[in-house]
Structures are given as C-alpha cells and as structure tokens.
Structure 1
Amino acid sequence: MIIQHLDSLASKTIVLASGSPRRREILQKIGLQLTILPSEFEENLDPCSYSHPSEFVMATAHKKADEVAKRLVSSVSAPDLIIGADTCVTLSGQVYGKPKDHEDAFHMLNKFSGKGHDVLTGVCLLVRKEMDWKEISFCETTTVQFAKLSSETIKSYIATGEPFDKAGGYGIQGLGGTLVEAIHGDYYNVMGFPLHRFCFHLAKIMAELVP
C-alpha cells in the first residue's frame, strides 16, 4: 500500500481535477498534498452511447483529467499526477447523476426505496512521463441497499438541500446515511472516490513518481 510512500509523495505535485469537497477530504485524510484545479470539461457525454455504465464514468473521468492536463501542458512545472473522477448511480440499467430539481430528486429516491442500487466511480490517473502522460483508468462498484422510504421521509430529506450536488440524490456521509440499510464494497466509493483501489494503483506507479 502507499503508507510507506507518503514521505516521497509529499514532494510530488498532485492535481485533483475536481471541485468535489468529498473527494478532496478523502484524499487529504491520507496525507496527500493536493492542488485543486476543477476540470472545465462540460459533462455532456451520453451514458446510452456506452455498452456499460462503467465505460461511461471512466470516459468522463478521462475527459476531466485530460482537460486539466491540456491546460497545464505549457506550465513551467507540470504536475506529477492528475486525478480525474466521475460517479454515477445505476438501478435496473438506468443511470442516475445529480438531480436537476426537487421533482427529480424525489423520483430518484423513490426508485431506490427498498431496493439495492450500484454506485460506480470511474477514475483516471495521468502520470507525467517526460513530455507526455501515462494513463491508468479503472472503475469501482459498490452496492447500496436502501430502506423502505415513505414519501414524507423523502420529502423531508430533500428539504435539507443535501441531495442536489450528489449522484443519486443522497450523501451517505451525511443525513443520507440514515436512508441506507447496508452496503457491499468500498464505503468511500459511495462518497465519490474509491480510496482502496486508488491506493493500490498509486503504490504500483510510485516507481515512476520517485526520481
């Protein structure tokens, strides 16, 4: 794992191509020194054009990281690593992103009520290789089982405002955690970043980060 590499990583320039406070929090908790540079990529890919939602989130994560890499290509000191990520929720083949409004949030949460759904996060790591980038991409899936929710519970949760910047319309780390009966897989993936899988890949590429 990366625990033994944290001292070396402290001297590296790592860019998180996301404005998500949850992704920032997860990565900072393990001691990574981050530069936050949210991607300006317009998230307009059509999930229906991909054979599986995992391909959709990995493609979006790549676009986010690549947009930041292109902005920094002429930088005097290019970063050692750029991290892009994208999360979606799926149920019965339907892909759910962030709710557009109260009605959309209610529709999502009502669909999840009493059922299990999958949270998928695609991650794209761009590792600096002289004048180019080496890409490592992966997708992590966590299954979340919701309790049976009444309409009153859903409406009260939406009224807190918590659902609106989160894929699937809930935050497991906040009040949304009260809606969840069980999860199978990486808890941090439901927050928006698969920490264990990321650390596995980062440990493998440390040889390329260390001079």
Structure 2
Amino acid sequence: MNIILASNSPRRTQILTLAQIYHQVVPSACEETIAQNLEPYEVVESLSYQKAADVAKKYPNDIIIGADTIVVIDNQILGKPKNEQEAILMLEKLSAKTHHVITGITILSKNRCKTFHEITKVEIAQLSKQDITTYLKEENVYDKAGSYGIQGVFCKYITKIEGDYYNVMGLPIAKVYKELKEFNNEI
C-alpha cells in the first residue's frame, strides 16, 4: 500500500520528503465546491476531503493525503491571488496584523477516513508599498494562500508565529505523521 499526496504543491511534497514519508504525487483533478456559510476550518476540511476522495477513485488500495490551506484575517478567507492587484490587496491587508493560516487534511484509505485541521497564528510586520512591490518582483506568489511563503524571502517580514511552522507552508507534518501512524497497520 502506497501513500499518495493528492496535491501539486511542491512545498507539501518537500515536507513529506523531509520527514522521510515516502509518497507518490497524484494531483486531484476534482472541481472544488464549497457550501455556503461554512466556518473557515470547515472549508479547508471539505476541500481536503474532496481532493483525497477524487484521487482515491483511481487508487482505492492506497492511502491518500488531501490538503488545502487558506489564510484568514478579519473573518475573510484569502486563497491564492489571481493577479498582481489581488496579491497587493492581500499583502496590504496582512501588513502589521496577525492572521491565521488554516490547513485542512484528509487521510483516506479503503477502510478509514480521518479529516482534521491545524491553525497557526502569524504576525506580519508593517509593509510599505515599496516592500510589497519589491517582494512581488522577487517571488512567485500565485501558488500561495495569502500571497506569501514563510519559507522564502518573505520570512524577513514574519515577526511572530504561534503554532506549527510547517502548517504555514501547507502541511502540518507532526499532526499528519501522528495520524499516518494510526493507519500503520494498513501500510
């Protein structure tokens, strides 16, 4: 039985590899649907399940990991920016404030399903317009929730973090590893 990551995220596969969790990458092709009036953690849990379930159709005998990450500030969900203007607005909103990064995870096998989430609190320094402009020239932000990656050049603007660092990168590895051990008798 193999472990399959239902994600295209290079950061998620990097984290699993770092933790020596050997896996294959098979991105989900499902059309993501979100029900109305869900709490942010319910949104990412639902999306992580949709991704895992989609890949499980093709790999029913394996263990599938689905994940989805969002940034939440002032009760507003920030996903991945669609364009530069959206990225600028997101970074201006995050400037000099604390926000939450929430990742939903689903681990799915033929006999089990576990869905959970992790929340990490992140504080960002004051960002000038020049900081934002320079950052957007230095980094591809279009694959990052909230328009930033903690592991890249943006690290110089992170003033405080409470919780799992790897969650901010897209995969709370300690929690994922703990849950995978519960599936151990199937591996």
What is the TM-score normalised by the length of structure 2? 0.95
* Contiguous gaps of at least 5 residues in structure 1: 1-11
Checking the alignment, whether the CA contact within 8 Å between 1:99 and 1:163 is kept in structure 2 is: yes
Report Cα offsets for 1:152-191 as digits up to 9, x if no partner.
1011111124211100100000012112111000000000
* Contiguous gaps of at least 5 residues in structure 2: none
Aligned to 1:39: 28
Aligned to 2:78: 96
Q: Does 1:53 align with 2:35?
A: no
Identical amino acids, percent of aligned pairs = 40
Aligned to 2:145: 167
Q: Does 1:87 align with 2:69?
A: yes
CA RMSD of aligned residues (A): 1.3
Aligned to 2:52: 65
**Which of 90, 110, 128 is matched with 1:150 structurally?**
128
What is the TM-score normalised by the length of structure 1? 0.85
TM superposition shift of 1:204: 2.3
Equivalent residue pairs, number: 187
Q: In 2, Cα distance between the equivalents of 1:184 and 1:50?
A: 27
Checking the alignment, whether the CA contact within 8 Å between 1:162 and 1:171 is kept in structure 2 is: no
Q: In 1, Cα distance between the equivalents of 2:122 and 2:72?
A: 10
Q: In 1, Cα distance between the equivalents of 2:139 and 2:37?
A: 31
TM superposition shift of 1:44: 4.0
**Which of 113, 120, 130 is matched with 1:135 structurally?**
113
Secondary structure of the corresponding residue to residue 55 of structure 1: helix
Spell out structure 1 runs of 4+ moving beyond 4 A: none
**Given residue 156 of structure 1, which amino acid in structure 2 is its aligned partner?**
T
Q: In 2, Cα distance between the equivalents of 1:50 and 1:14?
A: 33
**Given residue 51 of structure 2, which amino acid in structure 1 is its aligned partner?**
K
Name the CA shift for 1:109/1:45 in 2 (closer, same or farther; >3 Å).
same
Between structure 1 and structure 2, the one with the greater Rg is 1
**Given residue 4 of structure 2, which amino acid in structure 1 is its aligned partner?**
V
